Structure 1
């Protein structure tokens, strides 16, 4: 097809936001070869870039694009927010050279599915000079059972529990386990992870 590409990458999709650390100046960074868990995102991005080029040799899409993204998670209960997945995926696609810049994506449809045996994402890209998008929202003849979502807990008891947990770990590094002063600790993953300045220097 003209101005078309398709990419399938096996494995559970992951979000960049879960793997950010912050350097000594407070700038967000993504570890690559630290040998630690945080390398996982950078390796996933490399896998996306490799598979994209392998599946679309000698193809470069330089015009504005329509994207149809189907994300298949292993579990319905535990997975990243789908709206955060797109940035992770398109960073890898851009890195592959298939597209020039992820700003080319002017229209996008994201569909969430579940496949316990084969988690993956499937992405189709269509050049807007050749294709247009047309969709409908229709009433189902027979309604499905709703997939319900619970709001985050904001009860005082839960808040106190979380604060207590943070206070207990705020003086120790999650990587080396060393007890250090608070001003020697940096946070990552929205404050869920604590890392000392010594370990951060070793990572980079």
Structure 2
């Protein structure tokens, strides 16, 4: 065991905390963990991170300021969460494991984004600053590479009805993604950054 060091590898596609928030009737963000539905995934993922961190680092407790190097391997190059948002879910799980005391200990952080269709995962290394320091440099390439272009995000905020019977409805209307009924904008609960719309009746049944 190396003193002042920990490494955690968690298999599976990394997910972002912000993608699994729902909002209650008062507009307060909540993270469900026992609804039996899709949004429970974040709470389960955080528990998995905590478990793996502790199993892979038995008896390790890092109490000082830390340098973190995070390598995130996504399954798809085109569809994945914002990498900047991934850190919150990961460090919440690491903190819950007891390997670190608080995620505020992370004073230096490098994030690297990769792709692995067969084995998506994240790999996190933590280094105690009393023993390690970081050096990095930025250099200009000798040969230009093909740029990886990004399209602006879609501003689409409406959801089309799921059943074919409503296929000819006004596309500007909002529809509940659970029961499919039309809802007014003032009565809609949003999830997944507005991609999912839920009527108040379905929301009340879920929570």
TM-score range relative to shorter protein? 0.7 to 0.9
Count of residues in Structure 1 that have an aligned counterpart in Structure 2: 197
2:175 counterpart SS class: coil
Task: Map residues 112-191 of structure 1 onto 2, 5 A cutoff.
Answer: 112-152=113-153, 162=156, 168=171, 172-179=175-182, 183-191=186-194
CA distance in 2, matches of 1:36, 1:140: 47
Quick check: 1:32–1:43 contact (8 Å CA) kept in 2?
yes
Task: Map residues 53-92 of structure 1 onto 2, 5 A cutoff.
Answer: 53-92=54-93
1:5 counterpart SS class: strand
User: Residues 164 and 200 (structure 1 numbering): CA distance in 2 closer, same or farther, change over 3 Å?
Assistant: closer
1:53 counterpart SS class: helix
CA distance in 1, matches of 2:172, 2:7: 45
Matched, 1:45 2:49: no
Which runs of 5 or more structure 1 residues have no equivalent in the other structure?
Answer: 154-158
**Please, what TM-score do these two structures have when normalized by structure 2?**
0.86
Give 1:76 shift.
Answer: 1.1
Aligned residue in 2 for 1:8: 9
Give 1:177 shift.
Answer: 2.9
Q: Deviations over 1:83-142 (max 9, x none)?
A: 111111111111111111111100000001111100000000001111111112223343
Moved over 6 A (4+): none
Aligned residue in 2 for 1:198: 201
**Please, what TM-score do these two structures have when normalized by structure 1?**
0.87
Quick check: 1:94–1:100 contact (8 Å CA) kept in 2?
yes
After the TM superposition, which of the residue ranges 128-137 and 166-175 deviates more from structure 2?
166-175
Give 1:164 shift.
Answer: 6.7
User: Residues 170 and 87 (structure 1 numbering): CA distance in 2 closer, same or farther, change over 3 Å?
Assistant: farther
Higher normalized helix content (fraction of residues): 1
Q: Deviations over 1:36-70 (max 9, x none)?
A: 11111111111111111111111111111000000
Give 1:169 shift.
Answer: 7.5
Which runs of 5 or more structure 2 residues have no equivalent in the other structure?
Answer: 161-169
1:108 counterpart SS class: strand
User: Residues 187 and 169 (structure 1 numbering): CA distance in 2 closer, same or farther, change over 3 Å?
Assistant: farther
